[in-house]
Every structure is written in structure tokens, then in C-alpha cells.
Structure 1
Amino acid sequence: MLRIELDGRPVVLRRPPEHPRPTSDRTLTREITVLTGLAGTDVPHPRLIAGCTDTSVLGVVFYLMELVDGVNPGEEVTAAQRADAGLRHGQGLAVARALARLGAVDPAAQGLDVLRKPGSFLARQVPQWLGQLESYRDFPEWDARGLPEVAGIAEWLEAHRPPDAEPGVMHGDFHLNNVMLARERPAVAAIVDWEMCTVGDPLLDLGWLMVTWPDEPRALEVGGPLARLGGLPTRAELVAEYVRAGGRDATRIDWYTALAGFKLGIVLEGTWARASAGEAPEEVGQRLHDSAVALLTTAGRIAEGSWSVRP
């Protein structure tokens, strides 16, 4: 992301890195689709100014979006946030309300149904991520025995899978580091980083927020300086606020939290697998492996009934 001036006003240019990945243009095209579809909704997001999928212009897909006046809690806090625990608590609740608004968006009405894959979203989750984990065996030095009992978690998830619900818009990676908070108000200025957005079951976004929330048990270092100040809502308070704001029935939130820990743990373990083959820094791989173990441990505790999001 680059801050530039356009006709005398600051805007943000979003483009792939200097050395694009094979999927970079497709990712940016998805983000253009999402921001176009969110226009006119009450979901806080950066306003799209223009998108360009013609790679003859810059050599890559890119877009321009508005500069959001807000603060990323994973990077910094404002003087108001530092001084007022009530503000921090209110901002945490605002994150839950923003997520409820996203899940209420009608994907077909907003042109976002193009992101939906055929078939049952929930039914393909466990097989897909077990397949992803199995693919790490291509790295001979990687050893799956370093993880908690994944098969047991997968079996529990399949045995307790909720029925399919009405498809809705999902962020796909919803946590504190992917929001911009208002500087002095209990509000979300924008949800950012839409590259994983899809149409599926929005309650998985809520589960993702639960498993990444900076409260015990803490599996990830998310929320940065804001989290370290304390005063944020509990997970139970977030779920209650999500429902109160018009979100979906969260009776089965423990299952979605376990699925989120299962999925994210397997994703992060991929860096450790690559590190074992010398294809990623060992220090980063070890850190993410430790997070994967913590996430899968949390999922396992939910499956065995020894921990719940609800008090």
C-alpha cells in the first residue's frame, strides 16, 4: 500500500509487491470486487475510488481507495485510547457490531455472489484443511507429531457440524489487526485486508474473532499495544454484542471457534513445514508453529468439553 496524492488529496494505492506472486492479480481483483460490492452498505470499509484490472497500465492489477482516518490496534494507540479503558471496551464491542453488519449483507443483491463456491461451505472445511495439512508431507523434514491430535478434532468437528445456513459475506481473516478503529470514539473506522473475503457462513468470522481475541487462552499475539493496555470486552461480551447488533444466532459459537482454531492452526503450520526445508526463516516458522499448537490445543479443548467461549 502506498500513500499518494491525487488532485491534491491523499489516497491509497493498493498493488501487488515488487515481485508479484502468481496469485497477486487474482487477489487484487477479488478485493476490487469486494469493495465495489460493499459500497452503499453500512459495513465500515475503505471507499473504492477506482480499480484497474488492465495489466498493461502498471503491469499488475491495482486500485485506489480512500485514506481512512483511523488507527490499527496492532500497531499503535491514541492518547485517548491510552487514557480511557471505557473507550477501549467500547471499541471492542464496536468490532463485534461491525462484524454483524458484514454478515447481514445480501451477497446476491450486492454483486458478491460471484465469490460463492458451489456446494456446502461447512461440509468442505474439514476435508479441505486436512488435505492442506497432508500436503506438508512434501517437506520430508516436517513432522506432524509436533501438533496436537488433529484427527480427533476433525472427527469431532464433522460429528457436530451445524446444518447449512443462508450463505453470507465473510471477511475470512477477521481479527483486531484487520480493523481500523476511530481515534477517539467507540467505533470501527474501517475493516481492511479483504483478500480472503468469500461467501459462506459468517459465523466462522465470529469464531475467528474468538480464537484470535487477546484474552486467555491466548493463541496469537493480536491487538498489539491496545491489547496490552487491557480493558477489552470478554469473548462472551463480544458474542452478546454481535447478536444484539443483528448478527446470526450464535448458539453454536463454540463449534465455529473450534473450526477457526483448526483451520488457522493448519494454515500457520505451513510456514513451519517450509522452514523445515529451508524455504522460510526458522525463527518465523518456530513462532508460527507455536501458535499453530496453541490454536489446535484450544480447538481440542472445545471438542473435549473442557473450554467454552461462553462463561
Structure 2
Amino acid sequence: MSGTDNPPGLDLGRLRDHLDRERPGLVRGELRAELIEGGRSNLTYAVTDGASRWVVRRPPLGHVLATAHDMTREHRVISALHDTPVPVPGTVLLCEDDAVIGAPFYVMEYVDGIPYRFADELAAIGPDRTRDVVLGLVDALVALHAVEPQRVGLADFGRPEGFLERQLRRWGKQLAASRSRELPGIDELHQALADALPQSGPAAIVHGDYRLDNALVGRDDDQVKAILDWEMSTLGDPLTDLGLLVMYSEREAPADSPVPTASAAPGHPTASEVIARYAAGSGRDVTGVGWYTAFAYFKLAVIAEGIHYRYTLGQTVGAGFDRIGGLVPGLVERGLSTLRTSQEG
């Protein structure tokens, strides 16, 4: 853990004052913090007083798409899921007052685990353990989608009816808000997805960004200890989560890619195996997952373009952002080809 200097976006003095007011006695020593690298969206910090550890989450600096960086939603869903089979960290507090550190934020308990992101990290544990880790992630998704929203106080967490139409509009608006260059094919992909919109099955709590490096995995037992990054969660079509997981299972990213390359690790289940595991555990009809996978490529392209836009404005923190923009054309092409293949089948 680094020293007492403030990391970008987090004033430790103001944070300490707020914690002392809201949770007297929680902090017992001088706070130290460091930015947790790896995230490309919200900023995440590990914070300690020398005796206890916590995690602080806040939106990115500068250009912010409010609906994509909602700390309140993330805090609410994690709190609601705490007593379910879904592994999540415990929450400490939510602060919606921008005056404290310059943006809304929340504090949660620190969970020790590994967010496997790259193929070489999984290669170190071998193919058998890699397979178990990824299939465990699928099982955790099945557990999430089995939670009844009304039983955990999330009956009003979203509007399932018309979910996919709203998702397409929302991501189209986020593309427009971050558009700073020509992106061949991306409008074609958006329209093709709209033209082939599927009929949603039963709604569920949707994570919105479900992938391996948004989970913490036990260092010794390979169990999923916590699912993280819930800011895009809502009630909606659960196959959007599956489609994203499938996309990350079939992508072939270069070794130096700034986005996850875990699927290239020996032992990583194929996309077909991921789909079969989810179908067996959930009992849901997954025959239309190709559309959802193409939609996942579109969403990742929009996210990458938004990050590229913030990079061009000098508003990103960390390494690797200079390469994000170069990924977008390939994501668009994979989205188009995936959608064509699903329609041909």
C-alpha cells in the first residue's frame, strides 16, 4: 500500500472526515490508499488505516456518462444481495454528496482474491484449475439470475418490459456522447441489432458487465469470493449477461491487449461449454444467445470508444489507454459477423 499522498480522485483527508462523521470509530489510524489498476471505467481504491482495509469506488474523472457510473445503484444491489448465494462484498456506506471528494462514492469491505484478467495469470494455475474457475463464474451467474428481485427488495430496480429496446437506445446515446471520429460499421451494427431484436424470456437481476476480471477468486480454493462492478445492474433480460460472458470466452485478443485476454489460457472453457453450463444450471432457453453476443460486442465497442474519448481529453488515469481506441473496429466487425452467423443458423 502506498503512502499518505492522495491518489488521483480521492482526497484522504476529506474521506477520513466523512467516515468519522458517518461511522465513528471505524477508522483508527491515518489513511493510506492506492488506485487499483485494471479498471477502465469507475475508479477503485484500496484504503487502509493500518489495521483494517476497505475499498472505495467513485466515477471516473472528467467526461462522465451518468447512467454508466451510478454509485447509488451499485451500492444498493450489493447491499441487497449480501444475504443471498451470490458472492458480494459487504457495504460500509454510500455518499451521494459531491462536495466530499468531488463525486458520489461508496465504501465496501475489502475481499481478498484474484481478479484474473490475462491469459498468463490463468496459465500460472494450470488448465484444470482454470476450467474450474471459469465454470464457477458461470455457476455464480446462474445463482444471480435465480434471485427473486422482490425477495431482496429490488422489485423496483428496473423495468423489464422493453428492456432490450431501451438498452439499444441507451448504448446508442452513449456512443453519440463519445463519438469523436468515424467508426465504419458501428451504426450498421446498431441498426442490425434493432432489426433482429429478440423476445425476452423471464426477467432477472442483471449484472450488466459480467466477466472474469469483475470477480475475485480465492487464491487457494479457486472459488468466486465476490462479484464486483455492479454499476450497470438492473432488472432485465439475463441473456445479456450470458452474451457478454460468451463474447469474452471467444475473443482472441493480442497478448498486449489492454482488455481481458483470459479466454486464451489453456483450459479455459469454450463459448459452447459456457453456454451449456449456464443452460444446465438455469434451465433457460439459450438458443438465441448469438444476438446477445453480438450486442455484447457492440457494447464493448461503445465502452472502448468512450474510454478512448476520455483518453484524448487527457482524463484517464493509469496505463494502456492509448491502445483502447484501436480495438473498436475489430469489435464492430466481430459483432456484425456474430449477428450474421446467428441469423443464418
Shorter-chain TM-score above 0.5: yes
Instruction: Structure 2 unaligned segments of length 5 or more: list them.
Output: 1-44
CA distance in 1, matches of 2:71, 2:223: 27
For residue 89 of structure 2, what is the aligned residue in structure 1? Answer: 46
Bigger drift between 64-73 and 172-181 goes to 64-73
What secondary structure sits across from 1:112 in the alignment? coil
What does residue range 78-227 of structure 1 map to in structure 2 within 5 Å?
Answer: 82-117=124-159, 119-136=161-178, 139=180, 142-144=181-183, 147=184, 149-213=185-249, 215-218=250-253, 222-223=259-260
Using CA pairs under 8 Å that are at least 6 residues apart, name the structure with larger relative contact order, 1 or 2: 1
Instruction: Structure 1 unaligned segments of length 5 or more: list them.
Output: none
- Counterpart code for 1:133: L
Compute the TM-score of the two structures, normalised by the length of structure 2. Answer: 0.72
Tell me: CA distance 1:68–1:159, structure 2 relative to 1, closer, same or farther (3 Å).
same
What secondary structure sits across from 1:164 in the alignment? coil
CA distance in 1, matches of 2:239, 2:147: 13
What secondary structure sits across from 1:124 in the alignment? helix
Q: Deviations over 1:120-147 (max 9, x none)?
A: 111223333333333445x4xx223xx3
Residue 19 (structure 1) shift: 6.6
CA distance in 2, matches of 1:306, 1:164: 16
* Maintained 8 Å contact 1:96/1:241: yes
What secondary structure sits across from 1:114 in the alignment? coil
Bigger drift between 161-170 and 172-181 goes to 161-170
CA distance in 1, matches of 2:135, 2:212: 11
* Maintained 8 Å contact 1:115/1:198: yes
CA distance in 1, matches of 2:112, 2:315: 35
Structure 2 counterpart of 1:34, from 72, 77, 82: 77
Tell me: CA distance 1:236–1:280, structure 2 relative to 1, closer, same or farther (3 Å).
same
Residue 223 (structure 1) shift: 4.3
For residue 264 of structure 1, what is the aligned residue in structure 2? Answer: 300
- The percentage of aligned residue pairs carrying the same residue is 29
CA distance in 2, matches of 1:187, 1:212: 20
CA distance in 2, matches of 1:272, 1:223: 16
Q: CA RMSD in A?
A: 3.6
Residue 81 (structure 1) shift: 6.8
Q: Deviations over 1:172-214 (max 9, x none)?
A: 111121111122334211111212222211111111112223x
CA distance in 2, matches of 1:255, 1:56: 39
Residue 257 (structure 1) shift: 0.2
1:12 aligns with 2:54: yes
* Maintained 8 Å contact 1:103/1:247: no
Report the number of matched residues.
Answer: 294
CA distance in 2, matches of 1:134, 1:43: 35
What secondary structure sits across from 2:163 in the alignment? coil
Tell me: CA distance 1:125–1:279, structure 2 relative to 1, closer, same or farther (3 Å).
same
Tell me: CA distance 1:69–1:130, structure 2 relative to 1, closer, same or farther (3 Å).
closer
Compute the TM-score of the two structures, normalised by the length of structure 1. Answer: 0.79
* Maintained 8 Å contact 2:123/2:266: no
* Maintained 8 Å contact 2:294/2:336: yes
What does residue range 223-234 of structure 1 map to in structure 2 within 5 Å?
Answer: 223=260, 229-234=265-270
1:2 aligns with 2:41: no
What does residue range 290-309 of structure 1 map to in structure 2 within 5 Å?
Answer: 290-305=326-341
* Maintained 8 Å contact 1:211/1:295: no
